[in-house]
Amino acid sequence: MDREDFFTQDNPKDEIIELLTENMSSTRRRLSEIKDQIEQIQITVDKEQQRYSGIAAELKTVKENLDTVPREDIRDKYDEALEVRFRLATMRGQLEKIEGQYDYLEKQQATFSQILSSLEGVDYLEATDDEDKPSRRAVDIVGIINAQEEERKRLSRVMHDGPAQSLTNFILQAEICQRLFDRDPERAATELDNLKTNASRTFQKIREFIFDLRPMMLDDLGIAATVRRYSESFGEKNDIHTQYEIINEDRRMENYREVFIFRTIQELMSMTRDYAAATEVKVRLDMSSDPVKILVEDDGKGFDSDVVFETDDDSIVEDARSSALILLRNKVSLVGGEMTVQSNETDGTVIRIEVPIDN
């Protein structure tokens, strides 16, 4: 059934509930499969780690007895160490990737569940004047699901262009070191230093990627500390002057509310970088009352917000930023919140969002 046929059914609300239920069932099966993969890979990683620890101890002994250990034995031991280290790094990379997929699917499952609860409790599929035209609420829900798939594609590209490419470079550098070990030990040592530097740089990028994907401090320290850390990191990495203000920092909320608030701020800040080419961003999070208030302001390239948000003609929404903001507004609406946008082409953009926390 294609999208147009889907929304011309007699009861589109029931059809969407059925679609979401099928997706939840499929996601549940996939979670079970991934969990088994994680357990198997973890067993392999533990074995390789034990093996590498043993080789590391042997290398330490070799280093202490360089004058008495045959050169061929030294080379063989270092070759073995490189092989095990590469295998261990590869397996850990696979484990992190699969664990990331598992976490993402868990969040997707939770989102499906939340949408289903909303559908079953409130009639989101309001009638339209034109019976042949799909309900806007129905389109919004499917748009959110499609946005999740786009996010998965983005993460896949990031992993391919980042860690995966770096691992390929590590292999090449290791091979160069292996060939140079006998002919030019001094240059081999230089290449090993380069390999270590590149590995450290890649490790830092992976840590940043993991933080963007799911900051662990959100669970431990809460939304205030996470927004502060993200704002500081955002400014440093993107060379954008970033100011932030957090009111009532000690307040804690349910985890899913904190996740929603953080993701909303993260998405808005990313838009200022990706679409507005801003040089200055201001973030304000007020948790002193209900609803929680979010403000993100930038001095970058704006747009005519009146045209985008005060018309029912979707054909005018051509640029990616406007489409992303409309989708975000719909997500905020699903949790009972409100979002307003003030923007023009010369004065930047100001976005205000209110998210209820006691409903």
Between residues 25 and 297, the one the model is more confident about: 297
Q: Shortest CA distance to 27 belongs to which of 111, 144, 120?
A: 111
- What is the model's pLDDT at position 227? 92
Q: Shortest CA distance to 118 belongs to which of 140, 103, 148, 146?
A: 140
Indicate if the pLDDT at residue 64 is higher than 90.
no
Stretch among 178-187, 227-236, 283-292, 314-323 having the lowest mean pLDDT: 314-323
The mean predicted confidence, pLDDT, of the chain is 76
Q: Give me the residues paired with residue 85 across strands.
A: none
- pLDDT, average across residues 321-344: 84
Q: Shortest CA distance to 209 belongs to which of 262, 167, 255, 156?
A: 156
Element (H, E) at 286: strand 280-286
Q: What is the pLDDT of residues 244-258, one digit of tens each?
A: 999 998 888 888 888
- What is the model's pLDDT at position 149? 61
pLDDT band at 160 (very low <50, low <70, confident <90, very high): low
Between residues 298 and 153, the one the model is more confident about: 298
Residues 14, 138: Cα–Cα separation, whole Å: 11
Q: Which residue has the tokens 């992190």?
A: 96
- What is the model's pLDDT at position 17? 74
* 282 phi and psi angles, rounded to 5 deg: -120, 130
- pLDDT, average across residues 203-225: 76
pLDDT band at 316 (very low <50, low <70, confident <90, very high): very low
- What is the model's pLDDT at position 133? 42
Indicate if the pLDDT at residue 130 is higher than 70.
no
- What is the model's pLDDT at position 284? 95
- What is the model's pLDDT at position 145? 59
Indicate if the pLDDT at residue 138 is higher than 50.
no
Indicate if the pLDDT at residue 40 is higher than 50.
yes
Q: Which fold has domain 217-355?
A: Heat Shock Protein 90 (3.30.565)
- pLDDT, average across residues 40-57: 81
Domain ranges of the chain: 3-213, 217-355
- What is the model's pLDDT at position 146? 57
- pLDDT, average across residues 112-125: 60
Residues 303, 229: Cα–Cα separation, whole Å: 29
Positive/negative CA dihedral, 237, 243, 246, 250: positive
Between residues 296 and 347, the one the model is more confident about: 296
pTM over 0.85: no
Q: What percent of the chain has pLDDT over 90?
A: 13
Indicate if the pLDDT at residue 71 is higher than 60.
yes
